[in-house]
Structures are given as structure tokens and as C-alpha cells.
Amino acid sequence: MPLPKTVDRIERQLLREQVYATLRDWIIHGVLQPNEKVRDVELAERLGVSRTPVREALRRLEDEGLVQTEANRWTRVAPLGLEDAHELYPIIWTLEGLAIRIAGPLLTGADLDEMRQLNQRLARALQDKEPVEASAIDRDFHLVFVRRSGNQELIKILQGLKLKLRRLEAAYFGRCLVAERSVIEHEEIIAALAAQDFDAAARAVKSNWRNSLARLMDEIQSSDA
């Protein structure tokens, strides 16, 4: 896919992060498509930067599984298929189950209030048919307890996995797959946390992700029909 002809020039003080964020977003939203070969020279020219921050960004993206390289031969966007969903979802619900068990005793009343407010915003976004906003709010909801776990390795792994999920959403549907049922599932997570039943909270998180996977598969089947 041709790269965009108009790209805002990147400010020097945030060069590395902005180059990384731009390339990451191009991959997530399909500007750079699965299996597409990329050249650091071309990317640097398009972004108006030197090759150094581009190479650093590509290395970070490789660590996150969004880019693949063959030393001294090629760099390409990682392939993407529906089988990725069946691999990613169980890992995510398992790791989030761990995160919520760790975070449970550490969550404050303010944390639970934040989760309730985010869930209310999610309900409004879904009602207003704002899928991009709904997807972002859903991520923020889960991030409350994931961050509260304080386990930086866990946070980092989940962040990378969810980047891949965002690619699936954009590649197959161009929108999020958060459904109104998610609001109810989130209420069950909050209720378990408020009751300090952290095993139940972990089960509710797993149910939320399993149902999301089922909704994804239903969407695929209906679109193929």
C-alpha cells in the first residue's frame, strides 16, 4: 500500500517516540499491510527524519511482534490471520486473570469508581454507535487493574498482545468488536472486586474475553454468509 503523501513533520524532542508511534499506528490500521516489505530509507524520507530513529522504532516493533526481519535481507510487517485470535485471546484472559488476582487487594475505592465511570462511558459510546471510542474505553477499563498489579513485565506483555488484537479489528472489520454485552460483563468484574472475591473477578475477566472471541467468530461467520 502506498504511504501517505502528507505526514506531519515530527518534532525533534519526541523524535523516537513519535516515529515509533507513527509506524505502530500505520501497522495497526493497515497503512502498512501484513507481509509488506518496508525500507528504513523510504520510511525516514516520508517522515522527514534520519534513518536512526526509524531503525530503533523497527527494532521495538519487532520485539512486540509487529515486524519481522531477516538480517541484512529484509524487514516486513508481521503476517496476520484469524488463527492469531485463537492464540491471543486465551493468553490474554489468562494473564489478565493473574493481573486481577494480584491487583485485587491493592485496588482502591477510587480505582473501582474509575472502572464504573469508564463502563458508563462505554455504554454511552456503544449507544451512540462510536466504535473507535468504545474500543479505547474498553482498553482503559482493563488497564485500571492491569496497571494496579504493579507487575511491569505483565503490563508490557499484555500491551504487546493487545496491539496485535487491534490489528485484527482493523484488518477484518475496520472497527472494534466491543458489544453491549461487554458492559454487563464489566459490571460483573466490578461487583466481584467490590466483594473482594478475586477468584470470581478472574473468572469474570476470562468470561469477558471468551465472549469477545465468540463475538469475533460470529462476526466473521455473518460477514462470510
| CA–CA dist 62, 38 (Å, integer) | 13
Count other Cβ atoms within 10 Å, centred on residue 74.
Answer: 11
| CA–CA dist 64, 106 (Å, integer) | 28
For domain 12-77, the CATH architecture is: Orthogonal Bundle (1.10)
Range from 48-52, 56-60, 83-87, 116-120 carrying the lowest mean pLDDT: 83-87
- Is the pLDDT at 157 greater than 90? The verdict is yes
- Confidence (pLDDT) at 5: 65
| CA–CA dist 224, 206 (Å, integer) | 27
Mean local confidence (pLDDT), 193-205: 98
- Same CATH fold, 83-224 and 12-77? no
Mean local confidence (pLDDT), 199-212: 96
- Is the pLDDT at 113 greater than 70? The verdict is yes
Residues 104 and 148 sit within 8 Å (Cβ to Cβ): no
Gyration radius of the chain's alpha carbons? 19
Three-state DSSP class for 75?
Answer: strand
Domain boundaries, the chain: 12-77, 83-224
Residues 42 and 3 sit within 8 Å (Cβ to Cβ): yes
Range from 47-56, 111-120, 138-147 carrying the lowest mean pLDDT: 47-56
Residues 122-136 pLDDT 10s: 999 988 888 778 888
Region for 129 from its dihedrals, namely left if φ exceeds 0, alpha if ψ lies in -120 to 50, beta otherwise: left
Residues 136 and 178 sit within 8 Å (Cβ to Cβ): no
- Percent pLDDT > 70 in the chain is 88
List, in sequence order, every beta strand (DSSP E) within the chain. Answer: 67-70, 74-77
83-224: CATH number: 1.20.120.530
